[in-house]
Amino acid sequence: MKYAILLALVLVGCGRAVPERKRVTVTGALGLPPLEMPEAGAAEVALGKRLFFDPKLSADGRVACASCHDPRHGFADPKPVSEGVGGRRGRRNAPTVLNAAYWRTQFWDGRAPSLEQQARGPITNELEMAHEPAKLMAKLKADGEYVQAFGGREITMEALVEAIAAYERTLLSGNSAADRYLYGGDKTALSEEAILGLKVFRQHCVSCHMIGREHGLFTDHEFHNIGIGVNAVGELTDLGQSKGRFRTPSLRNVARTAPYMHDGSLKTLRQVVDYYVGGGNSNPHLDARIRPLALSGAERAGLVAFLESLNGEMPQ
Helical (H) or strand (E) element with 247: strand 246-247
What's the pLDDT band for 248 if we cut at 50, 70, 90? very high
9 pLDDT exceeds 60? no
Q: What local confidence, expressed as pLDDT, does residue 234 receive?
A: 84
Q: What's the rounded Cα separation, in Å, for the pair 159 and 202?
A: 43
What's the pLDDT band for 254 if we cut at 50, 70, 90? very high
Q: Which segment of 8-22, 71-85, 195-209 scores lowest on mean pLDDT?
A: 8-22
Mean pLDDT for 237-246 is 96
| 40 Cβ neighbours under 8 A, 6+ residues apart | 8, 9, 12, 15, 21, 162, 166, 169
Mean pLDDT for 169-187 is 98
First to last CA, the chain: 8
Mean pLDDT for 62-85 is 97
Mean pLDDT for 153-159 is 97
- Model confidence pLDDT, tens digit, residues 269-287: 999 999 999 999 999 999 9
Length of the chain: 316
* HEC letters along 226-241: CCCCECCCCCECCCEC
Q: What is the CATH number of domain 5-168?
A: 1.10.760.10
Q: Please state, rounded to an integer, the average pLDDT across all residues of the chain.
A: 93
Fold of 177-308: Cytochrome Bc1 Complex; Chain D, domain 2 (1.10.760)
- Model confidence pLDDT, tens digit, residues 17-56: 445 789 999 998 999 999 999 999 999 999 999 999 999 9
C-alpha 128 chain-centroid distance: 17
**3-class DSSP state of 36:** strand
Smallest Cα–Cα separation from 101: which of 3, 14, 12, 180?
A: 3
CB-CB contact of 79 with 85 (8 Å): no
- Model confidence pLDDT, tens digit, residues 118-132: 999 999 999 999 999
Mean pLDDT for 159-174 is 98
CB-CB contact of 245 with 223 (8 Å): yes
- Model confidence pLDDT, tens digit, residues 77-120: 999 999 999 999 999 999 999 999 999 999 999 999 999 999 99
- In the chain, CATH 1.10.760.10 covers 5-168, 177-308
Sign of the C-alpha dihedral computed for residues 96, 118, 146 and 11 taken in this order: positive
Q: What's the rounded Cα separation, in Å, for the pair 95 and 77?
A: 7
